Amino acid sequence: MKKSNHLHFPTTYEKVLERVNAIDPIKYAKTRNYINGQITYLSPYVSRGVISTKQVMDKIIEKQYPYPAIEKIIQELAWREYFQRVWQFKGSQIWEDLKQDQQKVVHHTMLEAIQQAQTGIESIDLAIHGLYEIGYMHNHSRMYIASIACNIGKAYWLTPSKWMYYHLLDGDIASNNCSWQWVSGVFSSKQYFCNQENINKYTFSKQQNTFLDKPYEQLINMDIPNALRDTTKLDLKTNLPTSNTPNIDTEIPTLIYNSYNLDPYWRKDENVNRVLLLEPSHFNQYPVSDKVIQFIIDLSKNIEGIQIFVGEIEEIKKLYKTDNLWDDQKIISKEHPAFTYYLGIKDQRDWMFPEVTGYYPSFFSFWKKAERSFRKLLK
């Protein structure tokens, strides 16, 4: 099986902006579901906070396309914002079944065939190899794998979702967890099923006689196929680099960057300390691969004067050597559900629809409000 993949993700800010400028929303809408579709490949930079969904939206609006031409790409950007709002509202409950319990669960472990890229579905196994090689997977392939794991292999969604998150350069806990729950029928009205015909169509394969080569009505009630019966436990660990204590000028504030905030233009002209904080406690809870850590570090090089610190937020506070409440205000970060415990000032992120807040039980109830806001921007 061919494993090499020419797709790569540059880490310089100039190259990221080139991708933003190259967006073709018309081709995106027509081809995004196909494995070779005209997609943006911006998700790793949005997830890591290098650019925002609003920044992408503004660039699309700037090109003055008619609304029907850009509706699909704006809607897809809005999915990411919707999932972030769900996480904001639900907090740690995002690790639990959000709407209803997952049905027909047989085990809470990892399917060995998926981990080893040996499902026997050629397009799926190739996609898993690509995930390991470059840290990325087409969204349709992610849905296929989640469906195979949860709805065919009867695995509870949580463990395989952690496996996928571990390897993704664009790992976003909200999008990842909510998407796995959506596929498994936990955060949607029904489970999502794919069959071999659908996979062949969107991946340009011609495979037949697999355990998915059946009509949908047969898949729904099918026993676990032999290929998916073996399970294994996951052992996911993050290897963080070593670092020195950052050199902090305590007379000025410290901006805290992290794996979800690597914006090189955040308070760019202010006289501040800039620290990329890689907390062992965070990565013990949300482990990621060596590729992901290196990607985060490489992206941080776009931020002038940044220092990398492997430690905890409390250690930054201690560098100010006082319990004065004013010094808490010298620690500045961006609001994010993964870092609610941060001290000090929290800047708001650059939302597409800052006025659409709170919890919506479905994306389309969220989109109904967001779309009204978006149409006003076009006037």
Tell whether the model's pLDDT for residue 328 goes beyond 60. Answer: yes
Q: Are residues 260 and 292 in the same domain?
A: yes
Beta bridge partners of 256: 275
AA identity, residue 154: K
* Helix, strand, coil shares, percent, the chain, to 5: 45, 10, 45
Find the radius of gyration of the CA atoms of the chain.
Answer: 22
What is the CATH classification number for the domain harbouring 156?
A: 1.10.579.10
Tell whether the model's pLDDT for residue 211 goes beyond 70. Answer: yes
Place of tokens 């050199």: 247
Q: Are residues 300 and 372 in the same domain?
A: no
Mean pLDDT of 11-29: 97
Question: What is the spatial distance between Cα 202 and Cα 197, in angstroms, rounded to a whole number?
Answer: 9
Confidence of residue 2 (pLDDT cuts 50, 70, 90): very low
Nearest residue to 228 (alpha-carbon basis) of 127, 141, 160, 167: 160
Please report, to the nearest 10 degrees, the dihedral formed by the alpha carbons of residues 9, 11, 12, 15 taken in order.
20
Q: Are residues 160 and 70 in the same domain?
A: no
Place of tokens 């949908």: 216
Question: What is the spatial distance between Cα 339 and Cα 278, in angstroms, rounded to a whole number?
Answer: 12
Q: What is the pLDDT of residues 99-111, one digit of tens each?
A: 999 999 999 999 9
Q: Are residues 196 and 225 in the same domain?
A: yes
CB contact at 8 A, 266 and 334: yes
Mean pLDDT of 31-38: 95
Q: What is the pLDDT of residues 44-91, one digit of tens each?
A: 999 999 999 999 999 999 999 999 999 999 999 999 999 999 999 999
Within a domain: residue 240? no
Within a domain: residue 165? yes
Question: What is the spatial distance between Cα 295 and Cα 113, in angstroms, rounded to a whole number?
Answer: 27
Within a domain: residue 248? no
Q: Are residues 28 and 123 in the same domain?
A: no
Tell whether the model's pLDDT for residue 322 goes beyond 70. Answer: no
AA identity, residue 75: Q
Nearest residue to 307 (alpha-carbon basis) of 278, 280, 348: 278
CB contact at 8 A, 262 and 302: yes
Nearest residue to 40 (alpha-carbon basis) of 5, 11, 77, 68: 77
Confidence of residue 3 (pLDDT cuts 50, 70, 90): very low
Within a domain: residue 103? no
Within a domain: residue 29? yes
Q: What is the pLDDT of residues 237-264, one digit of tens each?
A: 999 999 999 999 999 999 999 999 999 9
Strand-strand pairing, 110-111 and 231-232? antiparallel
The pTM for the full model equals 0.95
What is the CATH classification number for the domain harbouring 358?
A: 1.25.40
Total domain count for the chain? Answer: 3
Tell whether the model's pLDDT for residue 294 goes beyond 60. Answer: yes
Q: What's the confidence (pLDDT) of residue 75?
A: 96
Q: What's the confidence (pLDDT) of residue 84?
A: 97
Tell whether the model's pLDDT for residue 182 goes beyond 70. Answer: yes
Q: What's the confidence (pLDDT) of residue 302?
A: 98
**CB-facing half-sphere around the CA of 270: CA atoms within 13 A:** 13
The DSSP symbol for 278 reads E
Q: What is the pLDDT of residues 274-291, one digit of tens each?
A: 999 999 999 999 999 999
Question: What is the spatial distance between Cα 305 and Cα 273, in angstroms, rounded to a whole number?
Answer: 8
- How big is the CA angle at 20 (ends 18 and 24), to the nearest 5 degrees? 110
Domain hosting residue 260, numbered range? 254-347
Q: What's the confidence (pLDDT) of residue 5?
A: 56
